[in-house]
Amino acid sequence: MSKTTEQVRQSLAKRYRAEKRFRAFGIASIAFGLLALLLLFTDIIGKGHTAFFEHYIQMEVTFDADTLGIDDATNQDQLNFANYDGVIRNALRERFPQVQSRGQKRELYSLISTGAGYPLRDMLASHPALLGQTRTLWLLADDDVDQYFKADRQGREDSRLTPEQKAWLTSLDDNGQVKKEFNASFFTSGDSREPELAGIWGAVCGSFFTMLVTLLLSFPIGVAAAIYLEEFAPRNRFTDFIEVNINNLAAVPSIIFGLLGLAIFIGLFGMPRSVPLVGGIVLTLMTLPTIIISSRAAIKAVPPSIREAAMGLGASPMQVVLHHVMPLAMPGMLTGAIIGMAQALGETAPLLMIGMVAFIVDVPAGPVDPATVLPVQIYLWADSPEQSFVALTSAAIMVLLAFLIAMNTLAVFLRKRLERRW
């Protein structure tokens, strides 16, 4: 064997070892990433899954006209001011006639959620004939009760409930008067001070409208800016200056954009506080640099030969852009937009500045209704003292992640549709 062959062989062995090391390193990094993700998910799902169920207590409720304080169940005003809590209390007292003292009564009443009366109102509104009748109904339990039933043995002992309350609940449970149900209201209602009534829908809608405004503003503006800078702008000091500043903007802390939004959109232009429209505009400012930078990269990647071909056939610069550059760069531009939108979706700080952190119960119906957004909702719940909000926080994180996954899936789908692999 010649000397060269021997040398080549040795260097080859070295090279293979290096390649192996490199691959092992890559796999280790990915495994680490996946592990972190897995931990995150287990933790969140472990904590949050209980929030998707809640407990109901069965009661014999009499729609007593005197207690309700109404005489006409078709009158909206009367329905709105009727004392539904009163009939629920009556039902509780009837179920546990031995409870006499005021303190004990208060403890008894607190087993049922303060929001349990709303369904009664709706029932009465749709069936006025119920007035004066008795029905067996499932009433939403208070969050402490809910926690008690969800807890294990140790958790039940540590519960905030008094021994009497625990005894009553055991009695109800033994009678089959307690049930666990899917927490649909979590997905349909807005925020509430009561954990068992609080829902994510308000924040989902707020996030949706905010994202909509952000997308509608930032994508066209970002793409137009990128196209202008790449295809039309002369190369001079001024455009260099713009370029540097776009890159700088991408690094500005997001809370600065919030301050800007507060000072300009709310202070100067008098736009309302706490609304998705202003939130969307602020997040647009934040998202624009990302979209511009990635769109420019996508435009740069379009082969110049395609531009020449079109130009050689007599296409105007605008036609070259519309017919050739845009379609070819679109997948890359979309990716940039999605990355920007995903950042914007998780952004809290600038929205705090423009008042989207307010406690808002109503589900927003449009971009100018006061609203909060998912990450702010998470922040608010994580900050709440009630034990039940821990699960709600995790559940809200799951919803945020689902929102994110949905957005990314849509982006991947769009990319696949638009990408030309030829």
Q: In the block, which residue shows the tokens 């001011």? A: 81
* Least distance CB 232 / another protein (angstroms): 11
Least gap, CB of 301 to another protein (angstroms): 13
Instruction: For residue 59, report the phi and psi dihedrals to the nearest 5 degrees.
Output: -140, 150
Binding-site string for another protein from residue 221 to residue 240, where x marks contact by CB under 8 A and - marks none: -------------xx-----
Q: Restricting to residues 164-193, name those near another protein by CB under 8 A.
A: none
- Shortest CB 412 distance to another protein, Å: 20
The window from 9-17, 213-221, 250-258, 312-320 that contacts another protein (CB under 8 A) reads 312-320
Strand-strand pairing, 178-182 and 134-140: unpaired
> Of 252, 251, 271, which is closest to residue 261 (Cα–Cα)?
271
Pick 231 or 386: Cβ nearer another protein = 231
Helix (H, G, I), strand (E, B) or coil at 8: helix
- Examine residue 312 and tell whether it contacts another protein (CB under 8 A): yes
The binder of another protein chosen from 324, 330, 334, 375 (CB under 8 A): 324
Decide whether 260 or 328 has the Cβ nearer to another protein: 328
Binding to another protein by residue 305, rule CB under 8 A?
yes
CB of 316 to another protein, least distance (A): 6
Residue 352: CB atoms within 10 Å = 16
Q: Provide the minimum distance between the beta carbon of 235 and another protein in the complex, in angstroms, as a whole number.
A: 7
- Give the interface segment with another protein, choosing from 8-16, 129-137, 322-330, 368-376 (CB under 8 A): 322-330
> Quick one: which segment of 91-99, 133-141, 323-331, 380-388 binds another protein (CB under 8 A)?
323-331
Reported residue count of the chain is 422
Tokens, residue 369: 């209704």
- Closer to another protein by Cβ: residue 237 or 420: 420
Distance CA 385, CA 142 (A): 15
Of 225, 281, 283, 310, which lies in the binding site for another protein, with binding defined by CB under 8 A? 310
Binding segment for another protein (CB under 8 A), chosen from 89-97, 114-122, 321-329, 347-355, is 321-329
What residue ranges in 80-176 does DSSP mark as E strands?
Answer: 134-140
Q: Which two tokens stand for residue 276?
A: 């998705």
Whether residue 355 contacts residue 245, with contact meaning beta carbons closer than 8 Å, is answered with: no
Taking CB under 8 A as the criterion, the residue among 8, 309, 318, 402 binding another protein is 309
Candidates 211, 283, 328, 342: give the one binding another protein (CB under 8 A): 328
Closer to another protein at the Cβ: 102 or 235?
235
User: Toward another protein, which CB reaches closer, 215 or 328?
Assistant: 328
**3-state DSSP assignment of residue 62:** strand
Q: Which is nearer to another protein, 163 or 234 (CB)?
A: 234
Sort 29 into a burial class: Cβ within 10 Å, 0-12 / 13-18 / 19+.
exposed
- Rg of the Cα atoms in the chain: 30
Instruction: Give the strands of the sheet with 53-62, arranged side by side.
Output: 134-140, 53-62, 178-182
- Judged by CB under 8 A, the stretch of 157-165, 191-199, 251-259, 315-323 that binds another protein is 315-323
Angle, vertex CA 183, rays to CA 180 and CA 184, nearest 5: 135
From 1, 97, 251, 422, residue interacting with another protein (rule: CB under 8 A): 422
**Contacting range for another protein; rule: CB under 8 A; set: 33-41, 45-53, 320-328, 378-386:** 320-328
Residues 417/224, Cβ–Cβ less than 8 Å: no
Cα 46 to Cα 49, 394, 401, 408: the distances in Å are 6, 9, 15, 24
Residue 286: name the closest of 347, 336, 338, 208 by CA: 347
Provide the 3-class DSSP secondary structure of residue 172.
helix
130 or 418, CB closer to another protein?
A: 418
* Interface residues toward another protein, by CB under 8 A: 234-235, 303, 305-316, 319, 323-324, 328, 420, 422
